[in-house]
Homo-oligomer: A and B are copies of this chain.
Amino acid sequence: MNQPLKINLTNELLELENFIIHRSCDIEQWFRIQWLENQAPFYGSVDLRNSGFKLAPVDMNLFPGGFNNLNPDFAPLAVQAASVAIEKVCPEAKKVLIIPEKHTRNLFYLKNLFQFKEILKNSGLEVRIGTVDSNILEATDILIDDHQSITLEPIQRRDDILYIKDRDGTEFVPCSVILNNDLSGGVPEKIKDIGQQVIPPINAGWPTRRKSSHFRYYSQVAKEFSLLTKCDPWLIDPLFKKIDNLDFSTREGEDKLVETIDNLLHQIQNKYDEYNISQDPYVVIKADAGTYGMGVMTVKKSSEAINLNRKMRKKMSVVKEGLSVSEVLVQEGIHTEETINSAVAEPVVYMIDHFVIGGFYRVHTLKGKDENLNSPGMHFAPVAFDTSCLMPDQGRPCHDKANRFYAYGVIARLSMLAAAKELAEK
Contacts and interface: CB of A to CB of B under 8 A. Distances in A.
Interface in A375-416: 388, 390-392
Interface stretch (A23-31, A220-228, A270-278, A306-314): A23-31
Interface of A: 24-29, 31-33, 35-36, 73-77, 79-81, 83-84, 86-87, 91-94, 121-126, 355, 388, 390-392
Nearest to A353: B84
Nearest to A73: B73
B390 A122 contact: yes
Nearest to A35: B87
A25 B388 contact: no
A334 B319 CA distance: 65
Contacts of A391: 75-76, 79, 122
Given A27-B124, A28-B123, A80 B83 contact: no
How many identical subunits does the complex contain?
2
A124 B31 contact: yes
B390 A25 contact: no
The main secondary structure of chain A at its interface with chain B is: helix
B76 A124 contact: no
Given A32-B124, A77-B80, A80-B80, 7 more contacts: A29-B94, A29-B125, A73-B73, A76-B391, A79-B388, A79-B391, A80-B390
A94 B25 contact: yes
A29 to B, nearest CB: 5
Contacts of A35: 87, 91
Contacts of A92: 29, 32-33
A36 B73 CA distance: 30
B80 A81 contact: yes
Interface centre among A36, A93, A124 (most CB of B within 10 A): A124
A92 B80 CA distance: 23
A33 B175 CA distance: 14
Given A24-B124, A25-B121, A125-B25, A32 B390 contact: no
B392 A122 contact: yes
A25 B74 contact: no
A28 B83 contact: yes
A281 to B, nearest CB: 36
Given A29-B94, A32-B91, A92-B29, A76 B390 contact: yes
